[in-house]
């Protein structure tokens, strides 16, 4: 590690400033205090300026994901609460289950997020569920660090992702070798990425097991803002 | 819950090894890996600081940062710097022998990006206190493992005939690349079991 | 460095780009260099953020250099750097959320990039504003250039794309390992080899010229 010093450093000036500074501890504290004050001021200003933009971005990304996994949906409502059945919660709260509605305000399905261990690291995903059809109607991986070229096909391979557009949840979905399945609850694994494929289905099943019993009946749900 | 802790530990130590797959703590990895015994000692010191930093970061995340998220980076840096100072003083007080052995390496730890990286990743993954400690221990074991492996290989390479332009950082990088390739083999360790 | 003042300013700028390139020659700030260079876009974003932090910190450090006592020098510099890194982090999150998500915690890790603290300590705290800014610009550009070179070559080899544009068509089998962590080490190792080889050739030529004279 050779940290090459600049040859152009004027040493005479450095010596002059050092001589001028015979620092007492009050001065040291003052300098640090001033630096802290200045930095706090800058940070608060930039924070105030960027916060609304960042929050809008985040809300938009989440909404986009929810609407993508529930076909036909244009608006959503966060669900949560401690009760035996989930209830609508405020826009600002954190949620893992969402109800999605079409442009007429009619209920289209639930979107549920889940996460768990993949091949490399944690995978986060969101899937859409239509309780009337008892089907998964769409799935998207939100975050993963799976191997590029193989494991990341769980995001990019349309043949794999497309299977979640109409996947029966009873009996519990299983992964089979490519071309050997065909059942309504069977998912063909990606060749060369069996473990990632299995991880996706397992995370989805675990999330579904946790939330399916708590989903409120469709009749109890209203689109946010009261659609016409 | 227990399997989750184990997964966090193994993931940080092997599958996503801090040094070889997340590129954290590269400065000591290349700087202090010339001799095996110093590399091992530095690894141990790192484990210690990592665990204390993890606890401190959990405390900050719980009590301070909800009110002032923009102070996260500055407060982490200050906490790490003071942790290292504190550890230095404690070791000096209670075990002068260990202090002598670790002496010069302790201040170096402050500028190790693995420590700040740990605090940041722990925050962004929303780990709790116990999960954070498991993460820190895994990261520390991973760092030590990488340091020791690298030092062993470099001691061997010292004795071999190697062209002049390859010697030095270029060779170390290529060795690290091969090690990193080897560590990729740990991927799927947990996916398989599932 | 003996030419007129303009020449000198230019020298400050150029030395960072090539002769004292922070990555290829000084081998500083390796964590971000290797971690985020799996695509050209990420490399440029990281380079840009580092450039901004380096310029802003150098400006401020050079401005206050006469009032900061030696004993608290480093602490003050770190507070200044951490402030600007946080600013960069928030701005990126607001303007380019996708890139910000890709880079994640590595933006915050700019704080411990030894390049930045090193320049404050070695140059900005001892020089007036103009040369300090030139030095920061040179080092920042040199860092960005190195990141870009690494990111672009890894993306082209490992993914067959450049800025996401397909280069070779479907029959190209990407060299996937290049965008994986080992590829980072290997590619930088190879680039350093090339630099060493050029340096060795230059020295040999100089020795030969002196021999003739």
A195 with B192: Cβ contact below 8 A: yes
Distance of CA A46 to the CA centre of its chain: 25
Interface test with B, best of A40, A121, A194, A197 (most B CBs within 10 A): A121
Per-residue pLDDT at C27 exceeds 70: yes
User: How long a stretch of residues is chain B?
Assistant: 194
Question: How many C-beta atoms surround the C-beta of residue A176 within 10 A?
Answer: 14
**The predicted structure's pLDDT at residue C160:** 83
Neighbouring chains to A with at least 3 Cβ pairs closer than 8 Å: B, C
**The predicted structure's pLDDT at residue A123:** 85
Nearest to C130 by CA among C76, C80, C64, C63: C63
A47 with B69: Cβ contact below 8 A: yes
**The predicted structure's pLDDT at residue A6:** 41
Q: What distance in Å separates the CA atoms of residue C33 and residue A122, rounded to the nearest whole number?
A: 24
Max Cα-Cα span within chain A? 84
Percent of chain C with pLDDT over 90: 28
Q: What distance in Å separates the CA atoms of residue C160 and residue C172, rounded to the nearest whole number?
A: 7
Interface test with B, best of C196, C197, C199, C200 (most B CBs within 10 A): C196
- Which residues, 6+ apart, have CB-to-CB distance to A68 below 8 Å? A138, A140
Angle at C92 between CA C90 and CA C96, to 5 degrees: 135
- Residues A168-200: tens digit of each pLDDT: 887 888 888 777 766 788 888 887 778 888 888
- Of A139-143, A149-153, B151-155, the one with minimum mean pLDDT is A149-153
Nearest-10 Cα torsion for C131, C133, C138, C144? 170
**What are the chain A neighbours of B27 within 8 Å (beta carbons)?**
1
Determine, yes or no, domain membership for B194. Answer: no
Per-residue pLDDT at B6 exceeds 70: yes
Taking a C-beta distance cutoff of 8 angstroms, is the pair B15, A121 a contact? yes
Q: What distance in Å separates the CA atoms of residue B36 and residue B18, rounded to the nearest whole number?
A: 19
Q: What distance in Å separates the CA atoms of residue C110 and residue C76, rounded to the nearest whole number?
A: 16
Please, is A108 exposed, middle or buried when counting C-beta atoms within 10 Å of its C-beta (0-12, 13-18, 19+)? buried
Q: What distance in Å separates the CA atoms of residue A93 and residue A90, rounded to the nearest whole number?
A: 6
Total count of domains within chain B:
1
Residue C200 near chain A (CB below 8 Å): no
Question: Which residues partner with A186 through β-bridges?
Answer: A174
Pairing outcome for strands A174-176 and A186-188: parallel
Would you place residue B87 in the very low, low, confident or very high pLDDT band (cuts 50, 70, 90)? confident
* In C42-84, beta strands by DSSP E: none
To the nearest whole number, what is the mean pLDDT of chain B?
A: 83
Determine, yes or no, domain membership for B82. Answer: yes
Taking a C-beta distance cutoff of 8 angstroms, is the pair C120, A4 a contact? no
Determine, yes or no, domain membership for B118. Answer: yes
Q: What distance in Å separates the CA atoms of residue C39 and residue C23, rounded to the nearest whole number?
A: 17
Residue C116 near chain B (CB below 8 Å): no
Taking a C-beta distance cutoff of 8 angstroms, is the pair C22, C115 a contact? yes
Would you place residue C146 in the very low, low, confident or very high pLDDT band (cuts 50, 70, 90)? very high
Would you place residue A23 in the very low, low, confident or very high pLDDT band (cuts 50, 70, 90)? low
Question: How many C-beta atoms surround the C-beta of residue C167 within 10 A?
Answer: 11
Percent of chain A with pLDDT over 70: 84
Per-residue pLDDT at C189 exceeds 70: yes
Nearest to C26 by CA among A5, A199, A12: A5
- Residues C46-101: tens digit of each pLDDT: 999 999 999 999 999 999 888 888 778 888 888 899 999 999 999 998 988 888 88
To the nearest whole number, what is the mean pLDDT of chain A?
A: 78
| Residue-range domain boundaries for chain C | 5-212
- Which residues, 6+ apart, have CB-to-CB distance to B141 below 8 Å? B9, B12, B13, B47
A43 with B70: Cβ contact below 8 A: yes
**The predicted structure's pLDDT at residue A225:** 61
Per-residue pLDDT at B139 exceeds 90: yes
To the nearest whole number, what is the mean pLDDT of chain C?
A: 85
Residue with the bigger pLDDT between A42 and A24: it is: A42
Of A7, A9, A35, which has the smallest distance from its Cβ to C76's Cβ? A35
Would you place residue C38 in the very low, low, confident or very high pLDDT band (cuts 50, 70, 90)? confident
Q: What distance in Å separates the CA atoms of residue B39 and residue B128, rounded to the nearest whole number?
A: 30
Question: How many C-beta atoms surround the C-beta of residue B85 within 10 A?
Answer: 13
Dihedral over Cα of B187, B190, B191, B192: its sign: positive
- Residues B150-169: tens digit of each pLDDT: 999 988 888 888 887 788 88
Interface test with A, best of C80, C90, C107 (most A CBs within 10 A): C90
Q: What distance in Å separates the CA atoms of residue C186 and residue B20, rounded to the nearest whole number?
A: 12
Determine, yes or no, domain membership for B192. Answer: no
Please report the ipTM that was assigned to this predicted complex. 0.83
CB pairs under 8 A between B and C: 105
Nearest to B57 by CA among B10, B11, B121, B2: B121
Q: What distance in Å separates the CA atoms of residue B132 and residue B136, rounded to the nearest whole number?
A: 6
Q: Which residue range(s) make up the domain with B20?
A: 2-186
């Amino acid at each position: 590690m050779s940290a090459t010093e600049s040859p152009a450093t004027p040493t005479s000036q450095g010596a002059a400033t050092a001589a001028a500074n015979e620092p007492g501890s009050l001065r040291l504290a003052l300098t640090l205090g001033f630096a802290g004050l200045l930095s706090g001021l800058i940070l608060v200003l930039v924070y105030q300026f960027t916060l609304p933009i960042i929050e809008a971005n985040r809300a938009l990304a989440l909404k986009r994901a929810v609407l993508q996994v529930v076909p036909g949906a244009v608006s959503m409502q966060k669900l949560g609460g401690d009760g035996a059945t989930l209830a609508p919660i405020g826009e600002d709260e954190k949620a893992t289950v969402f109800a999605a509605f079409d442009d007429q305000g009619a209920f289209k399905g639930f979107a549920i997020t889940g996460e768990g261990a993949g091949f490399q690291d944690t995978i986060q995903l969101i899937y859409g569920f239509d309780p009337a059809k008892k089907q998964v109607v769409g799935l998207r991986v939100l975050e993963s660090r799976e191997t590029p070229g193989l494991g990341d096909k769980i995001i990019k391979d349309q043949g794999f992702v497309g299977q979640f557009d109409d996947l029966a949840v009873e009996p519990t979905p299983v992964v089979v070798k490519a071309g050997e399945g065909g059942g309504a609850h069977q998912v063909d694994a990606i060749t060369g990425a069996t473990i990632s494929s299995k991880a996706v289905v397992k995370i989805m099943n675990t999330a579904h097991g946790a939330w399916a019993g708590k989903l409120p009946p469709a009749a109890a749900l209203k689109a946010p803002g009261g659609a016409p | 819950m227990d399997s989750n802790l184990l997964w966090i530990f193994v993931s940080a130590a092997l599958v996503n090894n801090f040094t070889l797959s997340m590129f954290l703590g590269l400065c000591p990895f290349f700087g202090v890996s010339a001799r095996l015994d110093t590399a091992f000692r530095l690894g141990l010191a790192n484990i210690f600081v990592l665990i204390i930093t993890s606890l401190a970061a959990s405390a900050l995340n719980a009590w301070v940062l909800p009110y002032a998220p923009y102070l996260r980076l500055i407060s982490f840096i200050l906490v790490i710097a003071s942790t290292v100072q504190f550890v230095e003083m404690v070791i000096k007080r209670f075990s002068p022998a260990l202090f002598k052995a670790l002496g010069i390496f302790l201040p170096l730890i402050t500028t190790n990006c693995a420590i700040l990286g740990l605090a940041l990743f722990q925050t962004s993954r929303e780990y709790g206190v116990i999960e954070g400690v498991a993460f820190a221990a895994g990261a520390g074991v991973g760092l030590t493992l990488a340091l020791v492996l690298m030092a062993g290989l470099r001691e061997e390479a010292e004795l071999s005939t190697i062209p002049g332009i390859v010697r030095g950082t270029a060779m170390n990088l290529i060795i690290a690349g091969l090690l990193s390739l080897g560590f990729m083999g740990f991927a799927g360790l947990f996916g398989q079991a599932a | 460095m003996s030419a007129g003042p303009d020449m000198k300013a230019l020298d400050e700028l150029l030395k960072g780009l090539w002769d004292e390139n922070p990555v290829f020659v000084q081998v500083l700030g390796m964590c971000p260099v290797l971690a985020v260079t799996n695509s050209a876009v990420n490399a440029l974003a990281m380079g840009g953020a580092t450039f901004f932090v380096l310029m802003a910190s150098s400006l401020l450090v050079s401005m206050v250099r006469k009032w900061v006592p030696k004993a608290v020098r480093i602490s003050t510099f770190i507070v200044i750097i951490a402030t600007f890194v946080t600013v960069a982090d928030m701005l990126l999150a607001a303007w380019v959320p996708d890139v910000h998500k890709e880079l994640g915690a590595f933006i915050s890790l700019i704080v411990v990039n030894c390049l930045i603290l090193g320049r404050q300590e070695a140059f900005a705290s001892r020089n007036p504003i103009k040369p300090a800014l030139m030095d920061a610009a040179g080092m920042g550009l040199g860092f960005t250039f190195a990141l870009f070179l690494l990111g672009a070559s890894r993306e082209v080899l490992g993914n067959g794309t450049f800025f996401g544009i397909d280069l070779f068509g479907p029959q190209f089998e990407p060299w996937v390992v290049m965008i994986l962590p080992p590829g980072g080490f290997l590619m930088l190792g190879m680039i350093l080899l090339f630099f060493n080889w050029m340096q060795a050739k230059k020295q040999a030529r100089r020795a030969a010229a002196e021999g003739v004279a």
